[in-house]
Amino acid sequence: MIAIGAFAERAHLGPIIVFVFVWSTLVYDPIACWTWNSNGWTYILGGLDFAGGTPVHISSGTAALAISIYLGKRRGYGTQALAYKPHNTTYVVLGTVMLWFGWFGFNGGSALAANLRAAQACIVTNLAASVGGLTWMFWDYRIERKWSAGLWELVRTFHTTICPAISLSTYLSIHPSAGTLCNFSTQLKFLAGYDDALDIFASHAIGGIVGNILTALFAQASIAGFDGFTEIPGGWLDRHWIQLGYHVADSVAGIGYSFVMTTIILWIMHYIPGFRLRVSEETEIIGIDEVEMGEFAYDYVGLETELKPGEADTFNVTAMPGGDPGLELQERTSENHYEKRSLGSP
């Protein structure tokens, strides 16, 4: 579930399991039904949603926004103390590769046959992710002059904008705009004041909306008919102007339904004993891994100390139980200074 990323660093694990079941039943299932079921209202209208732009990405991205607003900001958000950087880019790349490979099966397999339409879906799966991810990386480069690992995150996101009814040349021209919009949308959390830890709303919800709109503009009946039997009226390139209206209505309905229902679910759980999602400040300081699972990813990282901006030139990180006995790391920095404070100290 994509929206789970919004719980990062500040939610109980047990209630999250319950939330996932309830959300999947009350939010995802109805949206998927109106999108793909033959009796669904957008299906009847003629909406084109091949890769789950509304039921998967718009719904999850909007749910992440609702979760972020409900939970509030993480402790230290907006300060140097919470200036997180990717701690394991190898995992980021590995996860992206696995998902990228899986999407070939999902998108190509959605054609339900080994035909030209399936091949088209596989090609645009690769093309959309590549062009969108590179666009994101180039935009990030303008800020820090570094080749951002965000390339891999946004490769996953741009699978939201896939539609096998769009020609390859059109994909090459429209996906830089999709990458640009999603990249700049990450600034919305600073303007609106919410803490979306993984930029899920900006990448998935905005990406899904952009994909829906671009599909309405550039879908072509001739491309969709590559399988020999699929017939659609196409989008604006085929002078089917109303298609944009269908997709805007579908996107707005997905955003509204997901946000309202997610908020209702969160607040109902809030008032049920044992199901409240937000952790205490003390738990947030120590870490969800240590408090709720009794373990953490890196034994040599000291979780009994807290690093805050200060006046000291050095800081120590002492090994926790389970790590190498007596291990102590020393680090000096000329730009940022830290002081060591024990947890619970003022």
Q: Can you spell out the DSSP letters for 81-109?
A: GG----S-HHHHHHHHHHHHHHHHHHHHH
For 200-220, what is the mean pLDDT? 89
Q: Which residue has the tokens 């996906």?
A: 175
Has residue 169 got a pLDDT over 70?
no
Has residue 313 got a pLDDT over 60?
no
- DSSP strand pairing (338-342 vs 305-309): antiparallel
Residue 304 DSSP class: S
**Residue 237: CB atoms within 10 Å:** 17
Phi, psi dihedral angles at 177 (to 5 degrees): -70, -40
Q: Compute the distance between CA of residue 277 and CA of residue 299 in angstroms, rounded to an integer.
A: 27
Has residue 251 got a pLDDT over 90?
yes
SS3 328: strand
Helices (H), 6-58: 13-23, 29-36, 41-45
Say which range, 2-16, 36-50, 107-121, 253-267, has the weakest mean pLDDT: 107-121
In one-letter notation, the amino acid at residue 78 is: G
SS3 329: strand
Mean pLDDT of the chain: 79
pTM of the model: 0.81
How much is the pLDDT for 211? 85
Tell which wins on pLDDT, 260 or 170. 260
